Structure 1
Amino acid sequence: MSETRIEIPGPYDFDRVLERLSIDPLHAVDREARLVKVPYYPTGEVITVKGVGTKDEPAFVLSFERDDKSEEKQAHIARIFQWHTGLHEVQAHFLATDLKPIFEEHVGTPIVLDFNPFATIVKSIIHQQLNLKFAFTLTHRFVTGYGTEKDGVWFYPSPEKIATLTVDELRELQFSQRKAEYVIGVGEKVASGELNLEELAHESDEVIIKELTKIRGIGPWTAQSFLLFGLGRPNLFPMADIGIQNAIKKLFGMEQKPTREEMERMSAAWDPYLSYASLYLWRSIE
């Protein structure tokens, strides 16, 4: 066991991070102790991230099971929690826009990535067209049924494992026929190497969306979720997302949800941090 202390510029509200992570029952979060246990997929280890600072002076202690490759693990955690992004710059940008009220209310709220990019796609497919409560329930059944657990931390099943499943097995968990086919299909493509997510991650947003939406069961919403929560791309604004539409309607006192043209006009001033606009709009109605 080894430990490393990390300090980053504020603002960064780790308590809000833990609050949002705790919504998912698969996450091992202790809000009182201000820590989360993160599955590290390359080696099957568990890394503990503990907040020891404040919103204005953020600091963290990382605990590793093993001493080897600690720099790689540290970089991985920094990427997940987006510690390299200067939220003070993002905050300053939005205080000069019409989103100022929600950025003042939720100051220091970072984008936090899913713990594994492949899991982002699987989770997004499962969540399609479901209310949030049942989406988390169904994902929990899937991961606890076919994934692995260590020290109270759940790892999503590997593509190879998913590729061996049958539609009937997933139907027993209350997957729809098509959703079961989609999840198994994407597992098969990644397991076979037909879809290489590591290589794809180096491409532009447009290329990634084009390639992913060729796959049965992956539409623009799922592809954008992969870009935002799998890769941390900073300038994404999923206009078809109902939550974002409802948040804009509420924030600006509109009688109806905004049209695509209205959203395009509004969001022009939020570039190049559209992903943060998306996050804070979601936060404003959660």
Structure 2
Amino acid sequence: MPALTRKHHLAAVNALAARDRDLGIIVARHGPPPFRARPAGFETLVHIILEQQVSLASAKATLDKLSVRLPEFTPAAYLRLEDEALRSAGVSRQKARYTRAVAAAIEDGTLPIAGLARRSDARARALLTALPGIGHWTADCYLMLALRRPDLWPIGDLALVKAIQTIKNLPERPDAMELDELGERYRPFRSVATQLYWHAYLNG
């Protein structure tokens, strides 16, 4: 599947804003969302794991500390880090286990991270979620941000769910079935719809 480009991202924003009045209001109030993309590879996957259940700022601070300890942010170099180096950077014991498992899987070929771009969404997700600590949220965020896949809908993302509740003026947080139903309206650009809701959440 072709990766989303900056040009296509803006075209998708405009198409979604025309299709859904609430998304149009987000664009009118806050402008189009930024084109969110990260380099594909090990460092970005570690970054997304660090973002699990913590603030974006906290995860970025931990990543920055790791980068100081890792002039070359490679799986092999990561595996050579002592546990104390990870702890002092702010990596929890659980996330240290998860990120080491990712590094080992890339090193032994279990996770062909460079080849994920050639896999379908479903196959790439299956390869990622086979590893400990990588659920659908982490896999979908990697596919969306690193591989720039256009049609991901990470319904486990709390910011997305909260934004939908607010923007759609719902009395309660929508459940998985309701989220899936809403997401169908946004195909084939659910990733861009997600970023519009994130945009509203971050600027709310």
Give the TM bin, normalised by the shorter chain: 0.7 to 0.9
How far 1:128 moved relative to its partner?
A: 1.2
Whether 2:42 is the aligned partner of 1:118: answer yes
Give the length in aligned residue pairs: 200
How far 1:81 moved relative to its partner?
A: 8.6
Match of 1:138 among 58, 62, 72: 62
Contact residue 165 and residue 174 of structure 2 kept, 8 A: yes
Partner amino acid, structure 1, of 2:102: V
Structure-to-structure mapping, 1:221-260, within 5 angstroms: 221-260=137-176
Q: Which residue of 2 aligns with 1:147?
A: 71
How far 1:89 moved relative to its partner?
A: 4.8
Which TM-score applies when normalising by structure 1? 0.64
Match of 1:88 among 11, 31, 37: 11
In 2 relative to 1, CA 139–81 (structure 1 residues): closer, same or farther, beyond 3 Å?
farther
Q: Which residue of 2 aligns with 1:281?
A: 197
Q: Which residue of 2 aligns with 1:173?
A: 89
Q: Which residue of 1 aligns with 2:80?
A: 164
The superposition leaves residues 163-190 of structure 1 with CA deviations (integer Å, 9 ceiling, x where unpaired) of 2123232122232211111112211221
Partner amino acid, structure 1, of 2:18: L
- Farther off after superposition, 96-105 or 257-266: 96-105
Q: Secondary structure at the match of 1:194?
A: coil
CA RMSD of aligned residues (A): 2.2
The superposition leaves residues 80-101 of structure 1 with CA deviations (integer Å, 9 ceiling, x where unpaired) of 9923526235413431224221
Match of 2:24 among 100, 103, 106: 100
Q: Which residue of 2 aligns with 1:193?
A: 109
- Farther off after superposition, 257-266 or 204-213: 257-266
Match of 2:185 among 252, 261, 269: 269
Identity %: 26
Contact residue 33 and residue 199 of structure 2 kept, 8 A: no
Q: Which structure carries more relative contact order (alpha carbon 8 Å, separation 6+)?
A: 2
Q: Which residue of 2 aligns with 1:184?
A: 100
Q: Tell me, in whole angstroms, the C-alpha distance in 2 between the residues paired with 1:213 and 1:129.
A: 17
In 2 relative to 1, CA 243–190 (structure 1 residues): closer, same or farther, beyond 3 Å?
same
Contact residue 80 and residue 113 of structure 1 kept, 8 A: no
Q: Which residue of 2 aligns with 1:20?
A: none
How far 1:131 moved relative to its partner?
A: 2.4
Unpaired runs of at least 5, structure 2: none
Please identify which structure carries the higher helix content.
2
Q: Which residue of 2 aligns with 1:60?
A: none
Q: Tell me, in whole angstroms, the C-alpha distance in 2 between the residues paired with 1:133 and 1:270.
A: 29
The superposition leaves residues 94-114 of structure 1 with CA deviations (integer Å, 9 ceiling, x where unpaired) of 312242211333444353311
Which TM-score applies when normalising by structure 2? 0.88
Q: Tell me, in whole angstroms, the C-alpha distance in 2 between the residues paired with 1:171 and 1:260.
A: 35
Q: Tell me, in whole angstroms, the C-alpha distance in 2 between the residues paired with 1:170 and 1:242.
A: 27
